[in-house]
Structure 1
Amino acid sequence: MSLIDLDGVSRSVILPDGERLEILRGVTFAIDAGEHVSIVGRSGSGKSTLLNLMGLLDTPTEGEYLLEGRPTSGLSQRRRARLRGAGFGFVFQQFNLLPGRTALANVAAPLLYAGGREFWSRRRLAHDMLERVGLGERADTMPEKLSGGEQQRVAIARSLIRRPRVILCDEPTGALDVQTGTEIMDLLDAIAAETGSTLVTITHDTMVAARAHRHYRLDAGVLTPLDRSALDAPRQVVAS
């Protein structure tokens, strides 16, 4: 049984003029626990919408999303939020760190909604996670005093603080230089392998995509498998 299973998933919205905009069209694919899957595509191809659906931030217009074999369509908003908080970690191109709060406070923030031991141990757990991403000595530093790579490491630590089963990355290296981006992907790969987490990377950078076990292209809302050989050319970026 797959961990994530999308069956004929479509997503559309109605524009102000009454026209229907099709964002995703009949997406069908499955991801097993512990896999690293990449999805490449241009800006506007539907990549972020697909990630939001997988992360229970959005719902399909048609089709079904099964999580561990169970349909998600009938879940209440509260249940979706609980599953999302406990089982998913999100890493975005924009680091989305809380201004005016230290790196430690940013990483500990998701545990403010946890219960029991996680809540009371949140500072220790956050410090341990900062150590894991190489920023233990920067725990008391404000985000604006951190480099772009350091801010992304804090964001990764925050996304992993609850030990999610699925890590969803939306252009995780898009705001970074090549060397720093490579270091961030090395870190994500290492942590995913260490914890057995499923890693889904949405990117327009084929070098980042090539690191995955399986590869897909999303074009005008249609998802198709992508052969690894198509990603092995010299570094390239899918046109925005």
Structure 2
Amino acid sequence: MSLVCLRDVTRTVTLPDGEDLHILRGVNLDVAAGEHVSIVGRSGTGKSTMLNIIGLLDTPTSGSYELDGVDTTRLGEGRRARMRGEDFGFVFQQFNIFAARTAAENVEVPLLYAAGTQLLRRRSIALDMLERVGLADRADSYPGEMSGGEQQRIAIARALVRRPRVILADEPTGALDPDTGRVVMALLEEVARESNSALIVITH
């Protein structure tokens, strides 16, 4: 069974002049655990909208979206928020890390919403993940002291620290030079493979 299953998903918004803008039209998608999928297209074709729907940041206008057999379109916002925190890891082009927090503190953030052992051991879990992405020696450094590639590795560590079932990456190498981008992408794929996470990447 597919982990992510979209059927006939549409997304329509109404413009200020009353005209409907059809962003997605009847999208079907199946992604299994451990599978790596790229969503490719030009700017403005609805790629980020689709990623937001998969990550439960947005809802489809029509159609169905099941996550591991659960119909997400029927869930309340509280349940959707819990699933976002537990089941998804997000990696963005602009990193979206906190400038006033160290690398380790940035990676700890998702663990603040965990319970039990994960919450109590959040520092050591964060340090383990930073070591995994090659930043063990930069744990107490701030983002402003680090390169773009290092900042993106912090973002990857943060996205993966709770071992999400689905990793959503929105042009994760768009702000990096080509060589650094290849290294970051290889790292993202490697860690996703080890976690058996579904990896869905938006790219041009």
What are the superposed Cα offsets for residues 56-109 of structure 1, whole Å, 9 maximum, x if unpaired?
Answer: 111000100011122111101110011110110000100011121100000001
What are the superposed Cα offsets for residues 187-217 of structure 1, whole Å, 9 maximum, x if unpaired?
Answer: 011111111111101101xxxxxxxxxxxxx
Q: Verify: 1:19 aligned to 2:19, yes or no.
A: yes
- Aligned residue identity for 2:63: G
Aligned to 1:141: 141
Question: Could you state the TM-score of these two structures normalised by the residue count of structure 2?
Answer: 0.98
Q: Map of 1:60-79 to 2, 5 A cutoff?
A: 60-79=60-79
Give how far 1:117 is off.
Answer: 1.0
Aligned to 1:202: 202
Aligned to 2:96: 96
Aligned to 2:181: 181
Give how far 1:135 is off.
Answer: 0.1
Aligned to 1:220: none
Question: Could you state the TM-score of these two structures normalised by the residue count of structure 1?
Answer: 0.84
- Aligned residue identity for 2:134: G
Aligned to 1:82, the other structure's residue is in SS state: helix
What are the superposed Cα offsets for residues 123-161 of structure 1, whole Å, 9 maximum, x if unpaired?
Answer: 110000000000000000001111000000000000001
Aligned to 2:74, the other structure's residue is in SS state: coil
Aligned to 1:46: 46
Structure 1 unaligned blocks of 5 or more: 205-240
- Aligned residue identity for 1:29: L
Structure 2 unaligned blocks of 5 or more: none
Aligned to 1:5: 5
Q: Verify: 1:125 aligned to 2:121, yes or no.
A: no
Aligned to 2:22, the other structure's residue is in SS state: strand
- Across the two proteins, how many residue pairs are aligned to each other? 204
Partner Cα distance (1:100, 1:34) in 2: 34
Partner Cα distance (1:30, 1:87) in 2: 17
Give how far 1:35 is off.
Answer: 0.4
Give how far 1:115 is off.
Answer: 1.1
Aligned to 1:172: 172
Percent identity reads 63
Runs of 4+ with deviation above 6 angstroms:
none
Partner Cα distance (2:124, 2:67) in 1: 31
